[in-house]
Amino acid sequence: MNVMINDMSKDLDTSVQGIQVAITIFLLVMAALMIPGGKLTDRYGRVRLFRLGLLVYGVGALLSPAAPGLGLLILGNSILEGIGTAMLIPPVYILATLLFAGVTSRARAFGAISALGGIGAAAGPLIGGLITSAISWRAAFVFQALVIAVIILLSRSIKDPLPSDPTRPFDVRGAVLSAVGLILLVTGILAADNNVWLMLGLIIAGALVLMWFFLWVRTEERAGQDPLLSPSLFRNRTSNLGLVTQNLQWLMLLGVSFTVSAYLQVVRGYDAIQTGVIFTAATVGLLASSLGAERFAKRREQRTLIIAGFVITIVGVGILITMVNGSPSAWAFAPGLLLIGFGLGGMLTPSVNIVQSAFGEDQQGEISGLSRSVSNLGSSLGTAIAGTILVAGLDKGAYAAAMITLAALGLVGLGAALLLPRRPAPTPAAAVPQQPAER
């Protein structure tokens, strides 16, 4: 959607901020429901939930092109596609963790996932731009639905390595509290440009609801119940630091993507195809480092790769600000975006590997949901923070201010990476079984 901002805002009679809200709600719905989505894999099975998520996403993709205004677009794209994604993403990472044992083996699996994500990121803006320019942005959503249909057909060969447990209880109250808390938190950030007191009220309310959530799951665990999220997950220092790095990686990735896309289309007047082509530089960098994930894991510690990733990304942001301000050429975006893509791609895989490998088979559903929720919360915050700053005016230095803010947050991520232990603790006693991958 980033490359279709102008076309969609004009057609739906809304503003760039309206499209930003739709994008942020999509990311927010994912973040809010990813923990419940991960927990439901144990009850209904990983493969079954994956396919159901695809179906929900497909319905949203078919509703979106029929939208006469922003409301139906938010229902189809932001809510239904967000729910579908929250259901289908945790099973992907759980299956990869269960089917591949060891740091190097998992690095190859997660690297393949990241690399294919990079290919999608490269093809998405270009295909979306071409379809938007040749037909309309609505046809791009129909294309999404067709891709979903192909994935559903291909998923028939996937085998679940563990049986589902339909009798396993589901913590409804915990799911509601976690979702409401996250929604209030990010909505507060989105409200920053409208009313400071509303922003503070929503953020405080969100923090209080999340505190209530943590008190609830702790009470449930002490009572011998099965809470939505076990508090013991947060007693692992390595995993906690890994989650911080994940959150800030995705915050930077989505924040940079939205900021640069808005600047290219609103200030420089580039169309969807031109914007997609320029972003190819970031995708090439991300793809190159993701494809090398297994090789990097053999030569360097996961901690080292994450530290290097943050350093390269921050340098890339600095180069992007400097060159874009000093040159009107589209080529000025390439070096910075290439470094940002390479840095982010190089640390996404080791961060996931560190977090997932810190827990045994019995907690993979919970940690996968938490990991994806933290990452998508970062995506939501990145878009919300960048969008809030950009509202101040792209032609009045807001572009540079947004990028500098993202770089500063990258320094926080670098600090968390430096605190990671040099050699992560081995997977707990309930180690994942070493099984060949099913294809």
Q: Average of pLDDT values for 353-367?
A: 73
Q: Single out the residue of 20, 128, 33 nearest to residue 73, CA to CA.
A: 20
Higher per-residue pLDDT: 60 or 388: 60
* pLDDT tens string 154-190: 988 888 877 777 777 788 898 899 889 888 887 777 6
Q: How far is residue 276's CA from residue 265's CA, in Å, rounded to a whole number? A: 11
Q: How far is residue 404's CA from residue 329's CA, in Å, rounded to a whole number? A: 21
Please provide the DSSP assignment of 371-386 as one string.
HHHHHHHHHHHHHHHH
Q: How far is residue 422's CA from residue 105's CA, in Å, rounded to a whole number? A: 19
Handedness of CA 136, 138, 141, 146 (dihedral sign): negative
Most confident of 230-234, 235-239, 363-367: 235-239
Q: How far is residue 211's CA from residue 232's CA, in Å, rounded to a whole number? A: 16
pLDDT at 33: 85
Q: What percent of the chain has pLDDT over 90?
A: 17
DSSP category for residue 423: S
Higher per-residue pLDDT: 100 or 245: 245
Q: How far is residue 221's CA from residue 270's CA, in Å, rounded to a whole number? A: 54
Report residue 205's pLDDT band, with 50, 70 and 90 as the boundaries. very high
Q: Average of pLDDT values for 237-245?
A: 90
3-state secondary structure of 300: coil
Q: Average of pLDDT values for 192-211?
A: 83
Q: Average of pLDDT values for 286-306?
A: 78
Sorted by sequence, the CB contacts under 8 Å of residue 52 that are 6+ apart come out as 44, 87, 88
Report residue 428's pLDDT band, with 50, 70 and 90 as the boundaries. very low
Q: Single out the residue of 338, 288, 301 nearest to residue 107, CA to CA.
A: 301
Q: Poorest-confidence range of 12-16, 67-71, 289-293, 408-412? A: 289-293
Q: How far is residue 174's CA from residue 141's CA, in Å, rounded to a whole number? A: 33
Q: Average of pLDDT values for 65-76?
A: 88
Q: Single out the residue of 344, 333, 292, 385 nearest to residue 121, CA to CA.
A: 344
pLDDT at 129: 78
Report residue 437's pLDDT band, with 50, 70 and 90 as the boundaries. very low
Q: How far is residue 370's CA from residue 351's CA, in Å, rounded to a whole number? A: 13
pLDDT at 208: 94
Q: What single letter denotes the amino acid at residue 394? A: L
User: Is 235 within 8 Å of 221 (Cβ atoms)?
Assistant: no
pLDDT at 103: 62
Residue length, the chain? 439
User: Is 94 within 8 Å of 38 (Cβ atoms)?
Assistant: yes
Indicate if the pLDDT at residue 427 is higher than 60.
no
Query: How many Cβ atoms are within 10 Å of 173's Cβ, its own excluded?
Result: 14
Radius of gyration of the chain (CA): 21
pLDDT at 313: 93
* pLDDT tens string 378-423: 877 787 788 777 766 655 677 788 889 999 999 999 999 999 887 6
Q: Average of pLDDT values for 224-241?
A: 83
Q: Single out the residue of 199, 333, 211 nearest to residue 274, CA to CA.
A: 333
Report residue 426's pLDDT band, with 50, 70 and 90 as the boundaries. very low
Q: Poorest-confidence range of 73-82, 120-129, 178-187? A: 120-129
pLDDT at 294: 67
Report residue 122's pLDDT band, with 50, 70 and 90 as the boundaries. low
Question: What is the model's pTM?
Answer: 0.73
Q: How far is residue 184's CA from residue 198's CA, in Å, rounded to a whole number? A: 11
Most confident of 251-255, 309-313, 347-351, 391-395: 309-313
